[in-house]
Amino acid sequence: MSNLSDHPISRRWPARHPERLQLYSLPTPNGVKVSIFLEETGLAYEPHLVSFASNDQLTPEFLSLNPNNKIPAIIDPDGPGGRPLALFESGAILLYLAEKTGRLLPADAAQRYETIQWLMFQMAGVGPMFGQVGFFHKFAGKDFEDKRPRDRYLAESRRLLGVLEQRLQGRDWVMGEAYSIADIAIFPWVNNLIEFYGAGELVGIADFPQVLRALRAFLDRPAVRRGLAIPQRAA
């Protein structure tokens, strides 16, 4: 791929601003990680809505960018060496963009890896577990007579919230005073657990006051409020 127009995805989502980073996404907890980062840093980008309602994620054009058929995905026309770079997986995208911009990831090596550690905490634990709680509480899983699967994911989600609660004791953010990609990864999932899945009472969210305090601070950020609604869903 020598330029953006060479990529098959441009046939379905043509770029009006091909010089900008292209974001293919949906405002889900994973999707908004990238839009929030981009809003926080002011990096120029063009968002494209990948609609699950019309199975956009299963089209040949999207699969040419992400064979795992998940959002978000990006193409940076000004990637390493000035060549276009296509990426999927929200954690990988956050790391790439943080290194590209020099923002929201500590320069100190030890703190950098500690931040990555908490990013992986979200990717490996918080996202999958909170998503399963949402399935069993809000979607088809609520009809299962056997509640043991739900309770298994519920217990693990409470455990993860406890880990986060302990980490936030005496800290503004996951990494202390500095807001980082760890916060951008974790708090959309906490918000989704409470607001979209309606599972706050189920998980006993009131038992985690530091998590709630940090979540409120996260949601008060103007870039977060903007990023949570990008890309705009179709009317």
Q: What does the pLDDT look like over 67-120, one tens digit per residue?
A: 999 999 999 999 999 999 999 999 999 999 999 999 999 999 999 999 999 999
Q: Say if residue 50 is in the same domain as residue 98.
A: yes
CA distance 24 to 21: 10
Asked, for residue 235, whether it belongs to a domain, the answer is no
* Statement to judge: residues 89 and 137 lie in one domain: no
- Label residue 140 by pLDDT band (50, 70, 90): confident
From CA 51, how far away is CA 67, in angstroms rounded? 16
| 99 and 134 inside one domain | no
Nearest to 167 by CA among 121, 235, 218: 121
Range of the domain at 18: 4-103
pLDDT-derived band at 2 (thresholds 50, 70, 90) equals: low
DSSP 15-43: -SSTTSEEEEE-SSHHHHHHHHHHHHHT-
Same domain, 9 and 92: yes
CB 50 within 8 A of CB 71: yes
Residue 230 located in a structural domain: no
Contact 160, 208 (CB under 8 A): no
Question: So what's the pLDDT on residue 142?
Answer: 79
What total number of domains does the chain contain? Answer: 2
Global pTM reads: 0.96
Per the CB < 8 A criterion, the answer to whether 175 and 185 are in contact is no
Residue after which a domain boundary falls, among 103, 129, 153: 103
